[in-house]
A and B are shown apart, each in its own frame.
Chain A
Amino acid sequence: MFYREAGQFKSSYAEDNQIFPIRQDRIAMAALLALAFLVVPLIATPYTFSAILIPFLIFSLAALGLNILTGYAGQLSLGSAAFMAVGAFASYNFILRIPGIPLLLGFVLGGLSAAAVGIAFGLPSLRIRGFYLAAATLATQFFVVWCLTKIQWFTNYSSSGVITAQEMLIFGYSINTPMKKYLLTLSIVCVMALLAKNMVRSNVGRSWMAVRDMDVAAEVIGFRLMRTKLLAFAVSSFYCGIAGALYAYAYLGTVEPEAYNLDLSFRILFMIIIGGVGSILGSFLGSAFIILLPIGLNLLAHALSLPTNVASNLELMVFGALIIFFLIVEPHGLARLWQITKEKLRLWPFPH
């Protein structure tokens, strides 16, 4: 009744091509943004900011990056945390070594460094595919973390191998409270999500999907495989790199290379599986799910007064079972469930 597009006519190509062609979606999106930018900062507590909202946004960004590579371009990667690490440590070094560099420029340069590393480690994808590639991306994971641990220049010769993020200054305005960090993260994530959405709608995204579905066929009909695959690696690592920088600057503050370990890569992979492989919205839903699940399980364990080691093992089991459950029941993840809901809503309350 409320979600129906009857009477909304498109009279130009521009209208036909908009991101949200249905008016209700546009209104809902505007309301959501208003909520996130205006209402949440007024009502949320510092705990909510720093334990839920900021990590949620950062992981969404990382999941977005992996989703571009795995979901859209079909290149399975187990090394996303490595690209995050490159982004974080490169940003740190750019901001440290170039005096007076703007913070955001430092982030962008960090992201670009991650993209460069991504291209370097994406090169084998031209020859190898599938599992061989997945196993090969593990090389990135171990090699990058090892490099950052062993080469002390990256951590500015700190004795513990830990970096402390510099104060975040934008035009002399210090970003030091959880709320300000949240707003900064939110703005960056919004801009990058919009960019990603447009990228996958454009011919870049179509070439990625063609390569994903059948790369030999895509090559035959004229897509340049090398360019397409490497672009996917570059864009994906750029997103992961920015996410990694935010992870260090807006979330943790002090960070060691080991924070970007294989476990983190797996968590990001789970986010896109549960959220929906090959979906922008899915990255956000999956990230929210993976952030909230341990918190929920912890509350439950507290309520049942389970010992902590039982609770943490149960958490592992629930994670594993959920992955399998989603793969069997809804391989397209939460995003697909949302799509089904919307389709049902169009007919509601008079389904056929």
Chain B
Amino acid sequence: MNFFFEVLIGGLLSGVMYALVALGFVLIYKASGVFNFAQGAMVFFAALTCVGLTEQFGLSLWLAIPLTMLVMVALGLAIERIVLRPLVNQPEITLFMATIGLTFFIEGLAQLLWGSQPHQLKLPIEDVPIEWLLEKYNIIVSQFDVIAALICALLVTGLALLFSKTKIGRALRAVADDHQAALAVGIPLQQIWGIVWAVAGFVALVAGLLWGARNGVQFALTFVALKALPVLILGGFTSVPGAIVGGLIIGASEKLAEVYIGPLVGGGIEGWFPYVLALLFLLVRPEGLFGEKIIRRI
């Protein structure tokens, strides 16, 4: 039973990390109606820039993080200016394909600037088991994972408040609903998009730092986007709580499936199990757990 709980808790905590990446997706989708496939590339870019700044210019981590933040904001604004503005009022699918192009561009750019070899990233959080849990219940839970989960929780609360309570949040939702209508009632579309992409860059940075510290900063970081997709499907593209709950469900079920079902079918099912789970789920609720019900009119 201890082992079961260990796997479950480990899964839930890694699910929080998925949720963090999924959050970046939800943020942009909710606020601008763009399904940003490049989120994974942005996570990679942020982590690599931060590591590159510390390694190649000898900056301390506390200086490198704000600098990277600036770079991410600049990147977000550049994307808004160069890619999104000319594509205003295009169908969503076109915007989605543009972000696939963006993915390739950012991946190339990141490796061109900072090289393609893997890096170590050291955060001042130790990756050691929490002692009292180990002593009392004999369950190994990493301190790093717990702190990462706390950071995620903080971020999510902040963003949820931003969306529901502030004027900017209302404007963001209006833009997502209908670009043109939002423009017509005087919402500064470009400014809103700029804000959204800057915040998405910030979320990418946090995710990149946490993931990078866990698995090393390397190209494989871009695949966290693929981990976040089933989370999104399950939770619904438009819901911040959906991303969290989806992340927890995916994280836990994926680890449990790998441990308990994996050996029966030859292992390695972590790659597709979340997708199939999410797919089956969609058959019951086509808009995900917390997604907005899609009403279609002719």
Contacts and interface: CB of A to CB of B under 8 A. Distances in A.
Contacts of A318: 108
- Secondary structure type dominating chain B contacts: helix
A139 interface: yes
B94 A331 contact: yes
Contacts of A21: none
A320 B102 contact: yes
A290 B161 CA distance: 45
A151 B267 CA distance: 11
B80 to A, nearest CB: 13
A192 interface: no
Contacts of B107: 316, 320
Interface string B212-233: 0000000000000010011011
Contacts of B269: 146
Interface string B99-129: 0111111111101100110000000000000
A328 B100 contact: no
A269 B282 contact: no
Contact of B102 (A76, A151, A309, A324): A324
A127 B87 contact: no
A132 B90 contact: no
Contacts of B94: 327, 331
B75 interface: no
A238 to B, nearest CB: 22
B97 A216 contact: no
A324 B275 contact: no
A266 B226 CA distance: 13
B296 interface: yes
A260 B278 CA distance: 23
A316 B233 contact: no
Nearest to B230: A135
A131 to B, nearest CB: 5
B59 interface: no
Interface residues of B, number: 51
Contact of B108 (A136, A262, A320): A320
Given A131-B237, A214-B298, A327 B101 contact: yes
A313 B112 contact: yes
Nearest to B291: A132
Contacts of A138: 226, 229, 275
Given A146-B272, A150-B268, A269-B97, A136 B278 contact: yes
Contacts of A314: 108, 112
Contact of B272 (A142, A266, A315): A142
Interface string A308-323: 0110011111111111
A323 B97 contact: yes
Contacts of A262: 226
Q: Which of B92, B100, B116, B271 has the most CB of A within 10 A?
A: B100
Interface residues of A, number: 43
A321 B272 contact: no
A317 B108 contact: yes
B231 to A, nearest CB: 10
- Secondary structure type dominating chain A contacts: helix
Contacts of A134: 96
Contacts of B275: 135-136, 138-139, 142-143
A216 B92 contact: no
Interface string A121-154: 0001001101110111011001100100111000
A190 interface: no
Nearest to B111: A313
Given A146-B269, A324-B105, A131 B92 contact: yes
A156 to B, nearest CB: 17
A273 interface: yes
B94 to A, nearest CB: 6
Given A134-B96, A324-B83, A328-B87, A127 B105 contact: no
B86 interface: yes
Nearest to A131: B35
A331 B98 CA distance: 11
A68 to B, nearest CB: 16
B93 A76 contact: yes
Contacts of A316: 104-105, 107-108, 111
A320 B271 contact: no
B276 interface: yes
Contacts of A76: 93, 96
B34 to A, nearest CB: 10
A313 B108 contact: yes
Given A316-B104, A319-B104, A310 B112 contact: yes
Which 7 pairs of residues, A with B, have the shortest CB-CB distance?
A323-B101, A320-B105, A316-B108, A320-B104, A139-B275, A317-B108, A142-B272
Interface of B: 35, 82-83, 86-87, 90, 92-94, 96-98, 100-109, 111-112, 115-116, 226, 229-230, 232-233, 237, 265-269, 271-272, 275-276, 278-279, 282-283, 286-288, 296-298
Interface of A: 76, 124, 127-128, 130-132, 134-136, 138-139, 142-143, 146, 149-151, 214, 216-217, 220, 262, 266, 269, 273, 309-310, 313-324, 327-328, 331
Given A134-B96, A136-B279, A269-B97, 5 more contacts: A135-B233, A138-B226, A138-B275, A216-B297, A317-B112
